[in-house]
Structure 1
């Protein structure tokens, strides 16, 4: 079965990979920049000049702190014929529209190989965002000059979202919101940080990148790496200036869009409410029997991601027509990762209406 998105495969140095990716997706990158320029105006009151100023600041920080990722992103701008400052701004879209989303999306889950039917470590998530974003997405596969391969879902012009690499390391993510969030000088956009995580070849290095990189947005990183004995999973709640962590309990972890560790910050989910307060717990219950039997399968993950408890703001999220148009969200894509087999699965969302297609790193 064919993937529901264009698969963009590129090789070379970071700059070469970026340029080839940008050239192959120039129209999509342009459309995505236009989408976010409108969103920045509508949700954050930022005009084009303000967006470019912020993008330039993000670019300086990325070049200083994560130069390989910055070289790739500069290459995307060159290849796509896009304005580099605008491209860095859309990679910092979470920082620039911080606080304007009242109910963040995404439900993620990870199960150790000791508790799956195949003995392979599984990660996955539903990615919930504005439905207009569906048309500006790709699956990006890169192989760099070191031989490290990465495959990831990506918004056109961005470098990463949920994905895995040839070292058997994978990441899923959930947007968080705290009172420390916001653009500031010296921080790296979280989508740039995500790419840097996927550029590492072991879990310890991934945590170093996540913890040491200055950031202006709060997010949850569900990290895993395949290894003998079932692999390892670590969940990091990364906020500006601090980090909390969760380990698998009874072989698995689930997460939604509120903090579950006692970090000394104000969780903005408390200000807005929403489905996050039950989605993570519901995901744990839905997987509990299969986990206890140590027989979790990809089909169990798929059933989880198609769940409608709390509809329409369910794990499988659907648009609520009562929401303001700018606030509407649904599951745009659903991702399933088998880290041992380096297998990447994806379904268009909402996943209750679509089948999953799979590809693997060579």
Structure 2
């Protein structure tokens, strides 16, 4: 399979999947952990402080997302990285929450608006360019037969992805005055817990009810084209959740489309700290919606929006060109399109304006 990054496939119980993943990506996980330890140190967190934080996040994850915690404990065992550091790795957003670099533009389109008649999610993943070598695709099939495919960083469990029930998620970082509160599960643990769900309502319940310490935007969707009684011909659904500590905002599709960047649009009860400093986020979401237009939306149209340079270099297609400091550097590392009806991920190495092609991974036959 011709892909722009490694694909790791594991099967078994959560613990068995975690151990196998840790062993398969052992070198990448060790390197990624060392990389983040350096980044944590630059913000004043030495290794003992990182491990103390990781221990607290492990306790919260075991309480509120036990199957995900079993996965992460297995990753630590398989990779040989201390378990507290694995949890700190998965809590990199919480531990770096003072870093206000913006990342990602997400798009959701209902089947009533796509040229294919399929429910589609898409996004650019914008982050520090140093993370590119530590990125992979993770495919898991658990003991119940549930299959998940997700883009992620080595040692972590989720980012943009979907499962064989046709449920998918894209993600954007948000920042609020509530971030940093103790007791929540890591941002990326919450993402994985959502992807473990088979039903959209259950995914929403997990996203809303799980305690968190950082703000996060989840663009969720599900195709009802298979696996549900009498679901043939039933339209899919998309919904956006702005999830802050102790509060949730909701956006529903307008004319079959949802777009989102890195500022709050539906949750006036929290102070959006991004508004204190300004950001390209304030136009990226609206621009993405406008560029999609009013005609039936083909997948190439979505790819074109992900490659848009309006506001370059701080555009939807983000380029590493104008950072004030090393920590502020950001680039669209990968572009992802999720066709939830086909259970297909199309992924391009970024910046997407330079991508010659999108590479496809389908869940069908992945574990044949």
| TM-score tier after normalising by the smaller chain length | over 0.9
Deviation of 1:183 after TM superposition, in Å, equals: 4.9
Deviations along 1:173-199, one digit per CA (max 9) or x if unpaired, are 000000000151x21001000000000
Deviation of 1:321 after TM superposition, in Å, equals: 3.8
Match of 1:155 among 153, 162, 168: 153
Whole-angstrom CA distance in 2 between matches of 1:238 and 1:18? 27
Written as runs of structure 1 = structure 2, the 5 A alignment for 1:272-287 is: 272-287=277-292
What does residue 79 of structure 2 align with?
80
Greater Cα offset, 301-310 or 224-233? 224-233
Deviations along 1:247-300, one digit per CA (max 9) or x if unpaired, are 000001000000001331110111111100010000000002xxx32x211101
| Contact 2:29–2:134 (Cα < 8 Å) also in 1 | yes
Whole-angstrom CA distance in 2 between matches of 1:94 and 1:134? 17
What does residue 209 of structure 2 align with?
212
| Contact 2:181–2:245 (Cα < 8 Å) also in 1 | no
What does residue 300 of structure 1 align with?
301
What does residue 200 of structure 2 align with?
203
Whole-angstrom CA distance in 2 between matches of 1:283 and 1:99? 27
Q: Structure 1 stretches (4+) deviating beyond 4 angstroms?
A: none
What does residue 358 of structure 2 align with?
356
Whole-angstrom CA distance in 2 between matches of 1:98 and 1:76? 24
Deviation of 1:99 after TM superposition, in Å, equals: 2.1
Match of 2:222 among 222, 225, 233: 225
| Contact 1:244–1:262 (Cα < 8 Å) also in 2 | yes
Whole-angstrom CA distance in 2 between matches of 1:144 and 1:323? 44
Q: Which runs of 5+ in 1 are unaligned?
A: none
Whole-angstrom CA distance in 2 between matches of 1:183 and 1:330? 29
What does residue 36 of structure 1 align with?
36
Equivalent residue pairs, number: 355
Deviations along 1:102-140, one digit per CA (max 9) or x if unpaired, are x31100000001111111101000010000000001100
Q: Which runs of 5+ in 2 are unaligned?
A: 225-232
What does residue 254 of structure 2 align with?
249
| Contact 2:323–2:330 (Cα < 8 Å) also in 1 | no
Greater Cα offset, 224-233 or 307-316? 224-233
Whole-angstrom CA distance in 2 between matches of 1:223 and 1:182? 24
**TM, length-normalised to structure 1:** 0.96
Whole-angstrom CA distance in 2 between matches of 1:157 and 1:123? 24
Deviations along 1:32-61, one digit per CA (max 9) or x if unpaired, are 10111011111x210000000000000011
- Secondary structure at the aligned position of 2:112 is classed as helix
Deviations along 1:59-83, one digit per CA (max 9) or x if unpaired, are 0111111110000010011001111
Deviation of 1:322 after TM superposition, in Å, equals: 4.6
Whole-angstrom CA distance in 1 between matches of 2:220 and 2:322? 34
Written as runs of structure 1 = structure 2, the 5 A alignment for 1:21-170 is: 21-42=21-42, 44-101=43-100, 103-170=101-168
**TM, length-normalised to structure 2:** 0.95
- Secondary structure at the aligned position of 1:35 is classed as helix
| Contact 1:126–1:334 (Cα < 8 Å) also in 2 | yes
Deviation of 1:356 after TM superposition, in Å, equals: 1.1
| Contact 2:136–2:151 (Cα < 8 Å) also in 1 | yes
| Contact 2:147–2:163 (Cα < 8 Å) also in 1 | yes
CA RMSD of aligned residues (A): 1.0
> Are positions 1:13 and 2:49 aligned together?
no
Whole-angstrom CA distance in 2 between matches of 1:309 and 1:6? 31
> Are positions 1:176 and 2:174 aligned together?
yes
Deviation of 1:323 after TM superposition, in Å, equals: 2.2
Whole-angstrom CA distance in 2 between matches of 1:24 and 1:182? 33
